[in-house]
Amino acid sequence: MAAKTSVDYYWRFEFIQSAAGSENAKIKIDHYHSMDDNGDYTIDTIASELEITSTDTSNPTVWTGMCNGLAPGVNATGVSASATEKAAASDIMTHKFRVTLLNDYYLDESNDRAVTWQWAGYAPKWSWTGGDGDETKVYKGALSNVPDSTQDYNIGSDSNFTAYTPGAAKADYQECFGSVYEGDENGTVNAEGGWHLLTISTDYVSADLQTPGDGVWTW
């Protein structure tokens, strides 16, 4: 059994707006990946204009999408991590996204259009080149139960491997860790904690979404 050299990720983001002016807040979501030797990213726009209609934290505007072919074991600089770097990073992967407010509006402190990014979740699509040969099957189970790479493993005998496509439900995704960010001021993040609320109040927030690397590194 062996993992593929790239991993597809499903994502689920939640947003609410601070409504102001005559229209709802609108955002653009960009995915930054594949940093080159000069420190430049390839940038994909995965939502060109998402209207945030909700002001209710219990019923947010939800975006779901997918990023294909991400290199497993990406460290904080966006470069594939060596074994040494993996250990130093405590098996953490980072995925850089930028959320831009497209229609800023400010009248006064009580009339300031903004967007709060209140949750981010992920579901990696582990695809295997061995087992029963069905590459549509992905792993949905505890990371601690991912089989060891040295095992002669039969995917077909493990119910954790199944044809699984996450939907809109929050339960289909695991919460991202607290996210280091750039852009609009949002205070100090506990990068080892749960998701940190990020407010896009003027321009943008560029966040390095963290996910566990267990079971995702290339074998």
Q: Report pLDDT digits (tens) over 63-85.
A: 999 888 775 544 433 444 444 44
3-state per-residue secondary structure call for the chain = CCECCCEEEEEEEEEEEECECCECEEEEEEEEECCCCCCCCEEEEEEEEEEECCCCCCCCEEEEEEEEEECCCECCCCCECCHHHHHHCCCEEEEEEEEEECCCCEEECCEECEEEEEEEEEEEECCECCCCCCCCCEECCCHHHCCCCCCCCCHHHCCCEECCCCCCCHHHCEECCCCEEEECCCCCCCCCCCCCCEEECCCEEEEEEEEECCCCCCC
What's the pLDDT tens digit per position in 192-215?
788 999 999 999 999 999 876 543
Residue 99 is assigned to a structural domain of this protein: yes
Q: What is the mean pLDDT of the chain?
A: 77
- Measured CA to CA, the distance from residue 33 to residue 11 in angstroms comes to 15
Q: Are 176 and 195 in contact (CB under 8 A)?
A: yes
* 161 vs 122, more confident: 122
User: Taking 70 as the threshold, does the pLDDT of residue 4 lie above it?
Assistant: no
Residue 80 is assigned to a structural domain of this protein: yes
User: Taking 60 as the threshold, does the pLDDT of residue 137 lie above it?
Assistant: no
Side chain identity, residue 13: F
- Measured CA to CA, the distance from residue 14 to residue 59 in angstroms comes to 9
Side chain identity, residue 87: A
Q: What pLDDT sits at residue 103?
A: 97
Q: Are 117 and 19 in contact (CB under 8 A)?
A: no
Close Cβ partners of 195 (under 8 Å, ≥ 6 residues apart): 118, 119, 120, 175, 176, 177, 178, 179
The total of structural domains in the chain comes to: 1
Q: What pLDDT sits at residue 203?
A: 97
Residue 2 is assigned to a structural domain of this protein: no
Domain that holds residue 20: 7-212
What's the pLDDT tens digit per position in 22-51?
999 999 999 998 777 888 888 999 999 999
- Measured CA to CA, the distance from residue 91 to residue 176 in angstroms comes to 14
Tell me what the mean pLDDT of segment 140-146 comes to.
53
Residue 167 is assigned to a structural domain of this protein: yes
Residue 219 is assigned to a structural domain of this protein: no
